[in-house]
Chains A and B, each alone.
Chain A
Amino acid sequence: MEGISSELSTPDTGLKSKIIEIFSRVPILGWLFGTLVAVILEQNVGTPLAWALGLPKIPALFGFLIMLKKPMLIPSSMLYVLLIFILPIGIIARLSLGPANRLAERLINLSMSGSVLVHLVLLYAIFHIWSGMSDYRLITLKFTLIAIMVTVSLNVINGYMGEFSCSHPGFMALGAYTASVFSVSIFVNDSMFGQALMPSFLGPFLFPIGLILGGCVAAVGALIVAIPSFRTRGDYLAIISLAFMFIVKSLIENLEFVGGPRGLSSQPDWANLPTVFVWTVVCIWVINNFVRSTLGKALNAIRDEETAANAMTVNTKRTKVVAYMFAAFWAGVAGGLFAHVLGYVNPATFSIQKLAEVLAMVYFGGLNSVYGSIVGAVSLSVLGEALRPLELFKWIAIPLLLILVMIYRPTGLIAFKEFNVLKLIQPKKKKRKEV
């Protein structure tokens, strides 16, 4: 991920094809090695280097923030990114090409799931070290991971099923509040819910139950939306789900025992990076499994031609309702994590702005594609943070980008592409020169 974003920041128009050729055979494992080395490098020499270059501290987000705040520091922060990220990643990835390919091959032959695990552990290590250097990075990373969950799950409905659902913030709110009430009422001495019922050291172990509970409540909410709106196709779902989102919001605003519009705070700090990371991986894994099964592909059949799907033994009604509840479940889980990352929720968070954000991520990344949703969520989250110094102009820049994407790629950046983990982690063979 970092490899990609730091590559993007280099102006390499003329050399592009040459660079692509040099790195074409680097497997994901190689990139992970390179990035790992880069973040370790930053951990050790980052601060002195930043001072030496005249930067106040290490650039938290690849220098974007510093560059926009203080244009005078642009050269030095670019140099920093070059020295710490681009060069090490590039050099290590290229040098480790041979061994990385051999290792990737051996791992896959040994065990597919083991190989995936090794990649994930490396990825986690990178995240851990990178985010360990500042709290700002940590919280941005956590929110990005949560955004991935929400985006991928919304893509099941808006992309794979081809309906337009607007109630994902509502589902997140249901999940956030359920999980928060679960953890605050049972494990925390709180003015609203009284004494803790269980010792707090049990909390982290029972936290998944709270999240799943939140997901289930969201799924029940989805059932309420689904029953009236899936009788016909068309705009009904969009309208009903939009209404649902507002109903949830005003419901919570009027429920005094969860704090009403003031919100609910004092959630314990259980949503640490490993927890969020594991939940995100599980979410992507389960959703990707689902959309690649025949039961999940039935969603595509329903989207493209419902009559034919029904005549070919597909139980269309059940499929739609199940998929909707499934997507809502993951939105609920993401909401629960969100509440615990922030340590505070209020109903205003889950409103039209959140909806716009999530929809933008889905449509920017690409419909009908888990891969695209990950890219969309990461790029818009990072971009949103990177452009923060622009303040008001951020809300001009990002929509403008969206409009451009819609013009040149109407279905999003990476639409209709299968997310094949095996293909992703396998070693890259030498390409035969085509004559």
Chain B
Amino acid sequence: MSLLQVEKMTHYFGGLRAVHNYDLQIEPGQIRGLIGPNGAGKTTIFNLITGIHKPTEGSVQLGSENLVGLEPHQIASAGLGRTFQNLLLWRHMNVLEHVIMSQYSKMTYGLAGAFFGTVKRRRQEAEAEDKAYGLLELVGISDLALENVLNLPYGAQRRVEMARALAMDPKILFLDEPTAGMNPEELIQMMAIIRQVHKKFGLAIFLIEHRLKVVMELCQEIQTLVFGEVIAEGTPKEIQNNPKVIDAYLGKEAID
């Protein structure tokens, strides 16, 4: 059985149909891509699966657990980590605090621990900190751990988001345009990090990208979305040569 299974998911914003009959299966350890022109509904699909919007119709299952109707934090705790397209970082917190914060659901010391500083709390906070440093090491920004996130260069901020999403031990990682706005050098580094993370944790990854180079190199399978509907699905090669995809990106030829 697939790790993540989405069936016939449809969503309306008022009268506007943003996503229509969307199907997705992700196997453990797979890297999948979702491409499509601006406004095709890619981020909406992410938001629907991660619970920020509730799908109008359809089902979403992680393993055997139904995710529709759960709160975003419950979905996240179930094993669905994500990053955001427009970098939703907490502007008054430092890098380390970010990566500790996403281990929130693993802090079981409760209010007694929070109020009175019990031994259990000290142990769990220390463990969380160790883990956070490990992840920051992995994405290559452990030396910036105590910096405020706003003081970081853009590429490093992206890495903070990555480490933050990894800290919650996800089964699947959703990356919403992980290389948006990056220069070629940062791009190569980011792709290396994604590969490394994939190898190290055996994660399934589902990513939205605009740059075809990234998707073509990283993904094993790709979906193309246009106006909320999947028009093509297959390996990078198949997608590249699919006439529908070419039409969607480059426009139809004027003469039939």
Instruction: Report B148 CB to chain A, min CB distance, Å.
Output: 10
Taking a contact as CB atoms closer than 8 A, the residue among B52, B90, B102, B164 that contacts A304 in the complex is B90
Which residue of A286, A298, A301 has the most chain B CB atoms within 10 A of its CB atom? A301
* CB-contacts of B95-111 with A (<8 A): 97, 100-105, 107, 109, 111
B73 touches A295 (CB 8 A): no
B164 touches A312 (CB 8 A): yes
**If the complex has contacts A290-B114, A295-B111, are A312 and B101 also in contact, measured as CB distance less than 8 A?**
yes
Taking a contact as CB atoms closer than 8 A, the residue among A314, A315, A368 that contacts B101 in the complex is A314
Instruction: Report A416 CB to chain B, min CB distance, Å.
Output: 6
Instruction: Report A179 CB to chain B, min CB distance, Å.
Output: 21
Say if the beta carbon of B140 comes within 8 Å of chain A.
no
Inter-chain contacts of A311 with B (CB < 8 A): 50, 52, 72-73, 76, 82, 84, 88
Instruction: Report A333 CB to chain B, min CB distance, Å.
Output: 13
A313 touches B73 (CB 8 A): yes
Q: C-beta contact mask, B15-33 vs A, less than 8 Å → 1, else 0?
A: 0000000000000000000
A316 touches B73 (CB 8 A): yes
**If the complex has contacts A294-B125, A307-B52, A310-B72, are A301 and B93 also in contact, measured as CB distance less than 8 A?**
yes
Which residue of A286, A304, A311 has the most chain B CB atoms within 10 A of its CB atom? A311
Q: C-beta contact mask, B163-174 vs A, less than 8 Å → 1, else 0?
A: 011001000000
A294 touches B101 (CB 8 A): yes
Instruction: Report B202 CB to chain A, min CB distance, Å.
Output: 21
Say if the beta carbon of A53 comes within 8 Å of chain B.
no
A313 touches B104 (CB 8 A): yes
* CB-contacts of B3-48 with A (<8 A): none
Instruction: Report A419 CB to chain B, min CB distance, Å.
Output: 13
How far is it, in angstroms, between the C-alpha of A310 and the C-alpha of B74 when the chains are bound?
A: 9
Say if the beta carbon of B159 comes within 8 Å of chain A.
no
B102 touches A312 (CB 8 A): yes
Inter-chain contacts of A286 with B (CB < 8 A): 115-116
B116 touches A300 (CB 8 A): no
B115 touches A294 (CB 8 A): no
Contact surface of A with B, Cβ cutoff 8 Å: 286, 289-290, 293-298, 300-301, 303-305, 307-317, 322, 368, 416
